[in-house]
Amino acid sequence: MIREHFEYRQTIATILADDPRQTEAAKSGMLIARQEVERQIAIDPYFSATFEPYTPKNPAEIPASMARAATEAGVGPMAAVAGAIARAGVEAMVGAGATFGLVDNGGDIALVSDREVKVGIYAGTSPLSGRFALLIPPGEGVLGICTSSATVGPSISFGIADAVTVISPDVVAADAWATAICNRITADDTSVLDGLGETEISGVLAVIGDAVIRWGDLPPVVRARVDERLITAGKQPL
């Protein structure tokens, strides 16, 4: 397996692939996605500034998908930018013939896989951090495994959770909802999860201190020792 680190401006990603041509495809796909987002911001700065749902006029495909997912989750469009870029990278890998490909864009993962994959959960100073992983089964389509944290990394959060991981076949929705849930969930108040049955979100795992909250159809949770050197740290959004 090839593991390649990729950086371009605010995008810091790890690419896993079986073929170097597919890593190059992932980079190209991510850069094209970034260009769409950058053009949207250039003509409509509010798109990147707002923390509230926002529908831009005549957006390109990727900004439009971000806005739709963010509106459903009740957050601003940029809450979904990392997932959108990761998805574009993996879709480009599939277009280059990949049956296995992963892009980890600062903790927001897009994955297509013909094999089992362990995704470790890093939750900062929580005593549970780095001690378990999700065992993702093989599947045909692209899957989103996106994590938001109020205590780890540079992204803005209004919550207290150490990690909220959201799984969905819609990577962009997974990213938006990870932010939305992290903003609101506490160990005593999980009401933000109540409306997820009407969305494309399939599962949620939240770590708050020594508490673990599960919702939906999660893959098996297995013991693991997360190597912090493999964590892809992100920068501030565009």
- At 6, which CATH number? 3.10.520.10
Q: Round to whole Å and give the CA distance between 170 and 199.
A: 10
Within-domain flag for 236: no
Q: Looking at the predicted structure, is the pLDDT value of residue 212 above 80?
A: yes
Cβ atoms of residues 53 and 75 within 8 Å:
yes
If one counts the domains in the chain, the total is 1
Within-domain flag for 232: no
| Confidence (pLDDT) at 78 | 96
- What's the pTM value of the predicted model, to 2 decimals? 0.92
Q: Round to whole Å and give the CA distance between 44 and 33.
A: 17
Cβ atoms of residues 202 and 141 within 8 Å:
no
Average pLDDT over residues 133-143: 95
- Mean per-residue pLDDT of the chain: 92
User: For the chain, how far is it from start to end, CA to CA, in angstroms?
Assistant: 30
Give the residue numbers spanning the domain of 165: 2-224
Which carries the bigger pLDDT value, residue 124 or residue 183?
183
